Amino acid sequence: MIPASVLATVLVVCTLMLLGLLTVMSLWDLDLMVSYRLYEREQQRANLESGFVLYMDDSTLMERLDESRGVKLYEGDSSSRVQFFRERWGLYEVVTMTTKEGVQESRLIGRARESFHGANLYIPENNKALSLTGKSTVEGVLRISRNGIAYTQILSEFFSGIPLRQEQITRGAEKFPDVMVETEEVIERLFLIDDFSSLLSRIPVHRAFTDSLLCFQASEYLSGMNVSGKVILYSTGSVFVEQDNCFKDVILVASKVEIADGFRGNMQVFAKDSILIGDDVILSSGSGLWIGGECSDRLIRLGEHCEVNGFVIVTGGEEEKGEVPSANYFQPATSKVRGLVYVDGVAEVHGFVTGCLYVRDCFYFAPEGYYSSILYNVTLLTHSSVSFPFWMDGPYERREIKWLD
Are 237 and 252 in contact by the 8 Å Cβ rule? The answer is no
Query: DSSP assignment of 34-49, as one string?
Result: HHHHHHHHHHHHHHHH
How far is Cα 52 from Cα 47, in angstroms, rounded to an integer? 9
Task: Give burial (CB, 10 Å; 0-12/13-18/19+) of 150.
Answer: middle
Collapsing DSSP to helix, strand or coil, 280 comes out as coil
Are 337 and 331 in contact by the 8 Å Cβ rule? The answer is yes
- What pLDDT sits at residue 224? 92
Query: DSSP assignment of 194-245, as one string?
Result: ---EEPPTTS-EEE-TTS--EEEEPPSEE-S-EEEESEEEE-SSEEEE-TT-
How far is Cα 359 from Cα 143, in angstroms, rounded to an integer? 11
Beta bridge partners of 105: 97
Are 114 and 132 in contact by the 8 Å Cβ rule? The answer is no
How would you write the pLDDT of the chain (405 residues) with one tens digit per residue?
A: 556 566 677 777 788 787 777 777 777 766 666 665 665 677 778 888 888 999 999 888 888 887 778 888 888 777 788 889 999 999 999 999 998 888 889 999 999 999 999 999 999 998 899 999 999 999 999 999 999 999 998 888 899 988 999 899 998 788 889 899 999 999 999 999 888 887 766 789 999 999 999 999 999 999 999 999 999 999 999 999 999 999 999 999 999 999 999 999 999 999 999 999 999 999 999 999 999 977 778 999 999 999 999 999 999 756 555 577 889 999 999 999 999 999 999 999 999 999 999 999 999 998 888 999 999 999 999 998 999 999 999 999 999 999 997
- What pLDDT sits at residue 392? 96
Q: For 391, what's the count of Cα atoms within 13 Å in the CB-facing half-sphere?
A: 27
For 146-195, what is the HEC assignment? CCCEEECEECCEECCCCCCCHHHEEECCCCCCCCCHHHHHHHHHHCCCCC
- What pLDDT sits at residue 3? 64
Answer whether 0.85 is exceeded by the pTM. Answer: yes
Beta strands 104-111; 398-404: pairing state: antiparallel
CA angle 253, 255, 257 (to 5 degrees): 75
- What pLDDT sits at residue 29? 63
> Which residues lie below 8 Å from residue 261, measured CB to CB, with a gap of 6+?
243, 278, 279, 280, 281, 303
- What pLDDT sits at residue 32? 62
- What pLDDT sits at residue 348? 97
CB count in 10 Å sphere of residue 201? 12
